[in-house]
Structure 1
């Protein structure tokens, strides 16, 4: 019987993190590497990836990067094949790449709706499908962690945000997680989701400026926003064998906002 320390260890494991060059994605790549995993991260911009790899290397983490636009279907299979060439196998997949768009529903541009849906939903399906078929299903082992959002658990209150495409896409990620967990459990693959609340990031910068950090923090039972450590524990739980009997679950990391 393994100890808790052994169950949470990622020594000898490999991980692929999409959208891993900054913000929450980089925080999660850091956590995986700190627990012993070898990591490949992806994003669209090579210069941001270079900075992220240097950041991880300075912490003793073995990581490399692949520049790719996952909203384009043709890019997905070569991307996964390249990640497999570097890692040998993919034990852990973190589907984090995403986009947002703020606009009133009545004026929301269709092209912006499609941009959000293609990256936030379609690419998660395509990447998971490719990783499953090429690595996880044949080995009867895998950990898939989809990054949704508390925005996918409820609508927006008056005077807060106007992000109908983003909320809709994250709601889709929630049910994608549950459905894939049901289908792939027979393959020894667990599929779970982390639903972050407000964390300071490039994506949330506009919302934080328009609504205000203090106002958002007051809406949380813990009275604060997320920080650079707050996703690490949940991620390592889902990425490690500590969660070998947990699948299809959505864990909000939001200071209690979604509970009140």
Structure 2
């Protein structure tokens, strides 16, 4: 694999499993030194140890992005260990499941605290350091927000999640508009449904199978389907890409059914 990210330091939030852990492994395989962060320290430590055992460079830190005050100190610790942050993958997120009539204030706030507030302040703190360290001036500053097809498609029973991911999409464009001239490329990926530990039980149910059969290709995506896009947005190829939301969903958000 072409080591396009060699010498760069990357941060992946929500890296304890699923897409976050996959992204961390991918960035490390492309040469980046990776900081894996999540609320569950033991889980990110396990993934970081795996990366190191494979010849990569990685560290693990406990971080809940809903606690905005803790993000800056965590990023300072990362820079002290790995050097200036060049790449942030804003992956941390929660599902926000629940019908609109049943959602509590606490459930709504938790969804936005992680999915929107956490994304904004992680991006802000990364950008401050990218500008101060000279990474932005050097042209290697990249922020990739992980949105969802919920950014532009109604997923039933997920009003809080839909709203939060729509906010991530517009936030991506807003930050790109402010920071592009200063050398920071901000973009987003909108994945479709990928089987993870969180949703695996749903796809085995009758309702899950019915939903699956409504997808144009009657299947779920694989995490590896996002690899080429993430690598592009984190590397030199993103030089002229700013404020873009790239949907990768195997056609799941197309109107109609299978």
Q: TM-score, normalised by structure 1?
A: 0.90
- CA distance in 1: counterparts of 2:132 and 2:162, whole angstroms: 30
Q: CA deviation at 1:233?
A: 1.0
- Counterpart in 2 of 1:55? 50
Aligned-pair distance for 1:35?
0.7
**What is residue 186 of structure 2 aligned with on the other side?**
191
Give matches, 1:1-260, under 5 Å: 9-136=4-131, 138-139=133-134, 140=137, 141=139, 142-156=141-155, 161-205=156-200, 207-210=202-205, 212=207, 214-260=209-255
Task: Describe the superposition over 1:178-236 as per-residue Cα deviations: whole angstroms up to 9, x where unpaired.
Answer: 11111101111111101111111133335434565543443333432111311211100
* Unpaired segments ≥5 residues, structure 1: none
Q: Secondary structure at the match of 2:223?
A: coil
Report if aligned partners of 1:27, 1:231 keep a CA contact under 8 Å in 2.
Answer: no
Query: How large is the RMSD of aligned CA atoms in angstroms?
Result: 1.9
Give the Cα–Cα distance (whole angstroms) in 1 for the partners of residues 131 and 230 of structure 2: 19
Query: Partners in 2 of 1:97 and 1:199 — Cα distance?
Result: 16
Change (3 A) 1:202 1:208: same
Partners of 2:40 and 2:210 in 1: CA distance: 33
Distance 2:201 2:147 in 1: 19
1:184 and 1:190 in contact (8 A); partners too: yes
Of residues 243-252 and 223-232 in structure 1, the stretch that sits farther from structure 2 once superposed is 223-232
Q: Distance in 2 between matches of 1:11 and 1:110?
A: 44
SS at match of 2:54: coil
Q: State the 4+ residue runs in structure 1 displaced beyond 6 angstroms.
A: none
Q: Deviations over 1:77-134 (max 9, x none)?
A: 1111111111210111000001112211011011011011001100111111111112
Contact residue 91 and residue 136 of structure 1 kept, 8 A: no
Alpha-carbon distance in 2 for matches of 1:218, 1:237 = 31
Task: Give the SS at the match of 2:85.
Answer: coil
Indicate the larger mover: 132-141 or 12-21: 132-141
User: Structure 1 residue 138: deviation in Å?
Assistant: 4.9
Asked whether the equivalents of residues 20 and 41 of structure 1 are also in contact (C-alpha less than 8 Å), the reply is yes
Please state how far the C-alpha of 1:58 moved relative to its aligned partner. Answer: 3.5
Do the aligned partners of 1:15 and 1:90 also contact (CA within 8 Å) in 2? yes
Cα distance change of structure 1 residues 58 and 216 upon mapping to structure 2, 3 Å threshold: farther
| C-alpha separation in 1, matches of 2:121 and 2:93 | 14
| Cα distance, 1:137–1:195 mapped onto 2, change above 3 Å | farther
Distance 1:221 1:86 in 2: 46
Larger relative contact order, structure 1 or 2 (CA cutoff 8 Å, min sep 6): 1
